[in-house]
Amino acid sequence: MNSTDSTDTPLLISDEDGIRTMTLNRPAARNAVNLALATAIDAAVTELDERDDLVVGIIAANGPTFSAGMDLKAFLRGERPVTPGRGFAGLVEAPPRTPLIAAVDGPAVAGGFEIVLACDLIVAAENAFFALPEVKRGLVAAGGGLLRLPGRLPYHLAMELALTGKQISAADAANLGLINQVVEPGTALQAAKALAAEIAVCGPLAVATTKQILQDSPSWTAEEAFSRQSDLCDPVRSSVDAVEGARAFTEKRSPVWTGR
């Protein structure tokens, strides 16, 4: 599935070399999320998980703002930008099994920051900043920001950002380990694609399972950790791709993955 560059299309989609790039395309509205955009993201990440030829996804944005969060004009009209099962932006409550990289050029605030936090890797331009200003509007950051931020930043700093709505710069976020790379303005997508390419050459089953273990294991007890890990790893170890990976290594060639 590939979308053309049109402002009538809220989400642009491009698939290449195992990478799906999903570009928020409401620049006139600062890429605020309405129901149409949320529905498009839901469909795009659902298909991302279903496709054997796609190993990693990128979420980027057109225009000078990554996303201003929920479309408040649509909210006042009674619209809620949520989808069944995935929640706000068709993403935050149930991100895909496939790893996601956020390519952030410009501000990512409110629900925009929560979209970023739902991703597994974050590349941000020097001019990017992040904030959860919901409390300033009499709202609560209920799109995953309050749930995810304490696990990514020191507790007291997460509390300060959430209670005051203060901004954090890309540079400060990188120093705190919140994001992976800080790059020059206008190059976040290019850098995210380079990072995605490093993932895309790996086995898709192994990549998805590795993400799942890293994501789920903090809630496992020490007694169950290895058995639960084995339950996830054993199907990968017995897969066609595992045989192909070993054979390609011995034959000194690049593997041809099938996702099986």
Of these residues, 134, 160, 198, 224, which one is catalytic? 134
Q: How would DSSP label each residue in the chain?
A: ----S-TT-SEEEEEETTEEEEEE--GGGTT-B-HHHHHHHHHHHHHHHH-TT--EEEEEESSS-SB-SB-HHHHHTT---EETTTEETTTTTS--SS-EEEEE-S-EETHHHHHHHTSSEEEEETT-EEE-GGGGGT---TTTHHHHHHHHS-HHHHHHHHHH--EEEHHHHHHTTS-SEEE-TT-HHHHHHHHHHHHHTS-HHHHHHHHHHHHHGGGS-HHHHHHHHHHHHHHHHTSHHHHHHHHHHHTTS-------
CA distance 251 to 254: 9
Catalytic residue among 79, 114, 160, 224: 114
Asked if residue 82 lies in contact with residue 27, where contact means CB atoms within 8 angstroms, the answer is no
184 is catalytic: no
Catalytic residue status for 93:
no
Q: How many CB atoms within 10 Å of residue 143? A: 29
In single-letter form, the type of residue at position 114 comes to: E
CA-CA distance, 25 to 31, in Å (whole number)? Answer: 6
Active site residues: 114, 134
